[in-house]
Chain A
Amino acid sequence: MEVAERIMYSLLPLLTLIVPLFTGILCLFTCLFKFLEEFSRKTAKMLLLISAVLSLATPLAMIPYCVIGEVLETTGLGLRADSSNIAALVSTAILFLLVSIYNMSAEKGGRLKPGVYNFFLLLFLCCMFGLLLSYDLFGIFLFVEMVIGVSIILVAHNPIKDSTEAAFKYLIITAISALFVLIGVLTIYVLTGESNILHLLGNIEKRMILAENPPLLMFIVACFIVGLGADIGLAPFHGWLPDTLPASTIIINGFTAIEPIPLILALYRLVAPLYEIYPSSIIVALMLGTGLVSIIFGALMAYSQRDFFRMFAYCSIDEYGHSLFALSLLSPSDSQIFIIGQFYLINSTLAKTGLILSLGSVYFNTGGSNMDFLGGLLEKMNKTALSYIVCALSIIGIPPMSGFYAKLLLINASYKFFYDYGNSIIASLIIALLICIAVISCVILIRSFHKIFLGKSRVNIDVKGDVPILMWLPTILLAMATIIIGVHPDLLIRFIGYTRFG
């Protein structure tokens, strides 16, 4: 009985992928036959919502096992759910569900048929789950490429001229970057003959092959950082990001805001084992450097933007930089860094999703994204304004929002790391830099709130009221979540554990 139960639970990670994929294929079938077209058109949004609810069920079912330290592993496929990825899995599923609710009122159709659109969205969710669960190098590569591929199709879904140009740019940059990931993966595989990260670290002979060849190991790390850095949108590989946000539909912006959780954790999962094999400061410097460049570049570029989607794109680069920076404070002895990094990443994604959905609501009602022509929307869009300011304050790091606790943990860990591996002056300078960036973010986001919601509009905007309930409800829920996690950070932290590689 116990063996049967164990086998059943080991299939849960696989089931997590199958549920969205299967429901997605069902949605696809509804638009393949002419007699089902009308049914597909009418029920598409509801089908997506039901699929999102079903897709949340499996990660929720795995929580009780993962929290007590059990590992649910589908052997052979390299899929594994444990305390290191369960929080990210559940967050991804919840955020997807909230954006699906938003989709009910916001989706107005585009280049893709409703069934095909649903299929790609659910495939996107399936690939994000796969990326979080996979410990196989080829699995990670396949899921990265699929996540990006589907995002490109979804960007092109918007029936405006800019979307195809943005999608093409996105395709070329990320397709080249995917090849860098493939080069890194193939180099490891060709040298060691192993593709499972955990098996690779468990085998001393295979570890030695990599450890004895430091230049090649650095080359692999560089390939992973360049490859996944471009997919995530980290500076200086971010070229596609500021163009795709204004060119996508407001819902797709919401869905793609979730993407960094699996992508940044995938980058960590690829680089951290290599650091464990060969703990070189160059690896840490490469990761930290990319993080710092993104933080500074994102914050400075966001300042000068007039289009709120472009401003958000640069704020996102800044936040990705923060998340990578937190996860890059690699140390052979400190397991807390992974927990802090993941906590920061989830919080940041939570607030960013709330922010982009609020901005989407503004775009939905006004039809414009130029902040110079907006203003005075507070009275008519008070719920959207409330969710926007709460999420913005969380990103800035104002208490009692969750962002405050995340930033506090990050600053604390950064000081400790730079004090241990450098000196007190370097540590103080890094902290000063992080605080300066937080101040710049504060100026940018408060100014954007002022421009959009306060004062008076320069042009006559006809806004009758706030957006429909299905659009403001998810944003309010996200704002509430940032406050609740801010007051009780333990609610999230206790779900994040650390699995030592090898």
Chain B
Amino acid sequence: MEAPSLLTLVIAAFITALGCFTDITRRTIMLLSIQAIAIGSATLARCLIDLVIGLNIEALIHFFAAFAEWFSAAVVAPLILYWGVTKTENIADKPLIEARKLATLIISISILYILWILQSQMLREGRIITLSFCILMFSFSTLLMITRRDAFKILAGLNMAENSLFPLLAEIPITLVPFILTLMIFVTAMGTYVIIEAYRDHGTILVDRWRWLKE
């Protein structure tokens, strides 16, 4: 595996972990955008170099596909969420787990993954190392989702989980890229729509208050 790709994956995993500690909704969305930029930058840079060296249509198509992935994850999805926050509220809430415990949990998960990568025979191949990083980021994103009460932070966590699979999505047939991207944007837009409607009904975006108000 190339060093720049590995470095971007490490940075992206670190940003995802950082997302678990943010308190303001807008900051979580900003981290989502930065995570997507970090994940996509290596692929995008590789495609750009291919385009400059090769100067052929195939390289151009690949560059556009990578750019579309990067743009939708780093710009479109965060913008949809940001728009949702402007329509509702930008709140500050702390994670349900104490920060120190959360940090211990994240470090433990990271150590377990590193051990897994080093131990396992099947993970010698570069592509599979990418897979294990994807799973690591996916775990952090899931942690972010389950430790939050703010609906937009949960949705941002979901987007981070989706972004964590982007290194693998680079391998899919080019014809499928538009469908996958549309689907991911559709899920974000749908989630934002549901939260805005819920905010209209309940007057808050804290999910536990939805249940509490009902009871």
Contact = CB atoms under 8 A, between A and B. Distances in A.
Given A156-B193, A176-B158, A186 B201 contact: no
Contacts of B195: 164, 168
Given A146-B183, A215-B122, A190 B131 contact: yes
Contacts of B76: none
B173 A195 contact: yes
A142 B180 contact: yes
- Is chain B's interface secondary structure helix, strand, loop, or mixed overall? helix
A111 interface: yes
Interface residues of A, number: 30
A102 B207 CA distance: 34
Interface in B176-215: 176, 179-180, 183, 186-187, 190-191, 193-195, 197-198, 201-202, 207, 210-211, 213-214
Interface centre among B154, B176, B194, B202 (most CB of A within 10 A): B194
B100 to A, nearest CB: 26
Interface in A155-173: 156, 161-162, 164-165, 167-168, 171-172
Question: For A168, A195, A215, which residue has the most chain B Cβ atoms within 10 angstroms?
Answer: A168
Contacts of B169: 186
Contact of A176 (B120, B122, B142): B142
Interface residues of B, number: 41
Contact of A164 (B145, B171, B176, B198): B198
A153 B122 CA distance: 41
B194 A183 contact: no
B172 A189 contact: yes
Contacts of A186: 165, 168-169, 171-172
B77 interface: no
Contacts, number: 95
Contacts of A162: 214
Nearest to A138: B176
Nearest to A187: B131
Contacts of A156: 193-194, 197
Interface in B99-154: 120, 122, 127, 131, 134-135, 138, 142, 145, 151, 154
Contacts of B66: none
A149 B138 CA distance: 21
Interface in A171-199: 171-172, 175-176, 179, 182-183, 186-187, 189-190, 195
A464 to B, nearest CB: 31
Contacts of B186: 149
Given A168-B151, A215-B122, A182 B165 contact: yes
B162 interface: yes
Given A152-B190, A186-B172, A161 B202 contact: yes
A216 B193 CA distance: 37
A216 B194 contact: no
B32 interface: no
B161 interface: yes
B154 A165 contact: no
Given A156-B193, A161-B214, A162-B214, A216 B122 contact: yes
Interface string A122-146: 0000000000000000100010011
Contacts of B183: 142, 145-146, 149
Interface of B: 120, 122, 127, 131, 134-135, 138, 142, 145, 151, 154-155, 158, 161-162, 165, 168-169, 171-173, 176, 179-180, 183, 186-187, 190-191, 193-195, 197-198, 201-202, 207, 210-211, 213-214
9 contacts: A142-B183, A164-B210, A168-B191, A168-B195, A172-B154, A175-B158, A179-B138, A179-B165, A215-B120
